Amino acid sequence: MARKKANPAKKEAAVEKADAPAVEKETAAKKTAPVEEPAVSVAAEAAPAAENKEAAVAAGTIPVVKNEEPAPKEAMPAEAEEAPAAETVPVVEEKEPAAKEAAPAEEKETPAPEAAPAAEEKKPAAKKTASSRKKAAPAPEKKEPTGKKTAASRKKAAPAAEKAAPAVKEAIPVKEETISAVEEAAPVYEISNLPRRSVAFIGSECHPFVKTGGLGDVMYALPRELVRLNCDVRVILPRYACIPKEYQDKMIYRGEFYMDMGMTNRNYYVGIMEYICDGVVYDFIDNQEFFSAGNPYINLVDDIPRYCFFSKAALAALNYMNWIPDIIHCHDWQAGLVPVYLRTLFKDTPVGRARSILTIHNLRFQGIYNIPTIQYWSGLPNEVFNMGALQQDWVNANMLKGGLAYADRITTVSGTYAYEIQTAEYGERLEGHLRYHSGKLRGIVNGIDYGMWNPETDPALAANYGLGNVLDHKMENKLALQKELGLEEDEGKFVIGLISRLTNQKGLDLVSAIIPQVLDGNTQVVVLGTGDKQYEDTFRYYEDTYRGTFSACIQYDEARAHRIYAGADALMVPSRFEPCGLTQLNAMHYGTIPIVRETGGLKDTVEPYNEYTGDGNGFTFDRYEAGLLLDAINRAKTVYFTNRYHWDEVVQRDMAKDVSWGNSARQYKDLYLELTPW
């Protein structure tokens, strides 16, 4: 299956052979520029002395350092002292007037939102897939354990597999018809026929190096899936001091250069350290002055300079390595200036040919600070600090807003959220800006990595299970969870899990208001997470008051999270807003039914249970009210205690649902091809 964990031995081999790709790229560089001296002379003839830095980058003369990798790193600063003109900063400040042409128009007109309908067009197809799998759900017990994940889809497709295969090859662009096949080994042959694209991911975190939220999961899982879809992918990250030593030790020195920075009148060191895993190349931007802190995010005063530096250094590093992608895919405000740099200071350099996509993972965080500070650190021309781009409230600059204006496409992590952020309730004061750019806004739901989240192979569970035997073994995990957390050990209890950051966004005020009514003697609640002190203290109080019935695990424990997904009957996600949400996807894949509020990605991924037809895969409520959350929980408990057959049907339907990155990655690949139609 395509989503089994990679063989650890193979991963080690990939790390040990990390030098090989660098050598291959050097060979390719030699073919394009056999002699270094002519490149320098051409650059000298093509531009005056003031532009020699940019010409040197474009001519690819600096990457010659790559041939001297065995040499000690100490030799590099000496080169920089002798020839400061060899900086790899493609700053084209003399061409600032060009930026005026690129500057987005003022937002005087506000067209009606257009993105939401487009983002929701694929819902019917997704429902069709779910319903087709529902019909086949009882059959998987006849399959081997290794095939249980896709038993529902295989049973239906097996009789006509030979006839269907040629049709799939002829209609590769059709996404919906191949969703179920992504889980099997066969698509490997189809993927080889897909057009190839090179993509550079630029973001502030990525599992397993550094992760604080869902962005880290996306930056890890999506590139790996795109490699299977015939993409050449690099992920560019800061080299934080907090990256575990096991990964730091495996990084390979790729090169270094010096880069000017805004109006500081200083040249800053930019080192490139490389790590290769599962076909994805990870390049880390090294600078101890900016990234020596223990955490990826400190405070806005410190984060503004470091991410201005990172955004510019990432583009300069691509020029330095002479690796020019077709697409540059940026994530959140920390990389928000990348599209702005790309269309201004880097416009006439090799990397300027790339198209850009900016993904919003959470619109609440935007990187807003006063204009003089951001202009000082970024060095961007005055033209970009207007109301159509970076300027906000006349005196501030908004890094995310600027990126949204200059990016070729904007994506967010669900279709419903793409619509919601164009409204005053969810727009975080950028709703007008997003409506203005709605023509390039798309919503693509995230997925989960079946290698990390798989109840059939999960080592954290008391008993592993799949679609075919979930009803036999899920109770074992419930009893083990109750014992682990000191709850009354009774498989007849209805166990509700809540795995979340303990913040206002997650609807925890609703949860804390109804706990006494939920705990009726037949129900247990398990909370896992850390966050705001008020919620931590509230849940500790409930644990002390309802000991044996309520458990508050105020900590971050990945293994325990896996056990809660496996041992709970239902999972609460009553968020005030939720761009996508991954916990409900994890819960469904582990056979735990979600109870969610209809917002953002929760609405896109959870279909309300219909007591008359038996359709649906969870329990939902719409308005943000504690009473409606309690009603949804009571509806779930009613089905659980009075109609267990239908409950078990929903459990199996959820496990059969494809919530992997396969479908999402295909939508991103289609977007890349739309931007680069050659």
Residue type, 244: P
Give me the sheet containing 368-370, strands edge to edge.
368-370, 396-398, 391-392
Instruction: Kindly report whether the peptide bond that precedes residue 208 is cis, defined as omega within 30 degrees of 0.
Output: yes
Q: How far separated are the first and last CA of the chain, in Å rounded?
A: 32
**For residue 551, what is the enclosing H or E element?**
strand 550-553
Give me the sheet containing 494-499, strands edge to edge.
550-553, 523-528, 494-499, 570-573, 593-597, 619-621
**Beta strands 570-573; 252-260: pairing state:** unpaired
**For residue 644, what is the enclosing H or E element?**
helix 644-656
214 in Cβ contact with 417 (< 8 Å): no
Q: Which residues contact 548 (CB under 8 A, 6 or more apart)?
A: 486, 487, 488
Q: Classify residue 148 by burial, with Cβ atoms within 10 Å: 0-12, 13-18, 19+.
A: buried
Can you read off the two tokens belonging to residue 292?
Answer: 């020596």
Q: What backbone torsions phi and psi does residue 402 show, to the nearest 5 degrees?
A: -60, -40
Rounded to whole angstroms, how far apart are CA atoms 496 and 593?
Answer: 9
Would you give the distance in Å from CA 159 to the centre of its chain? 37
Alpha-carbon dihedral 477, 480, 484, 486, rounded to 10 degrees: 110
C-alpha dist (Å) from residue 505 to 105, 317, 536, 593, 624: 33, 37, 15, 21, 11
234 in Cβ contact with 200 (< 8 Å): yes
663 in Cβ contact with 179 (< 8 Å): yes
Can you read off the two tokens belonging to residue 41?
Answer: 């002379």
Sequence-ordered alpha helix ranges (H) in 103-230:
115-120, 123-136, 151-157, 161-170, 187-191, 214-228
Would you give the distance in Å from CA 119 to the centre of its chain? 18
Ligand-binding annotation for 211, yes or no, is yes
Rounded to whole angstroms, how far apart are CA atoms 10 and 26?
Answer: 24
247 in Cβ contact with 208 (< 8 Å): yes
Q: What angle do CA 449, 454, 459 make, to 5 degrees?
A: 120
Residue type, 4: K
C-alpha dist (Å) from residue 528 to 309, 500, 563, 667: 36, 7, 11, 33
C-alpha dist (Å) from residue 620 to 126, 495, 571, 666: 18, 17, 12, 28
Residue type, 619: F
Q: Which residues are annotated as a binding site?
A: 211
Q: Which residues are annotated as a binding site for ADP-alpha-D-glucose?
A: 211
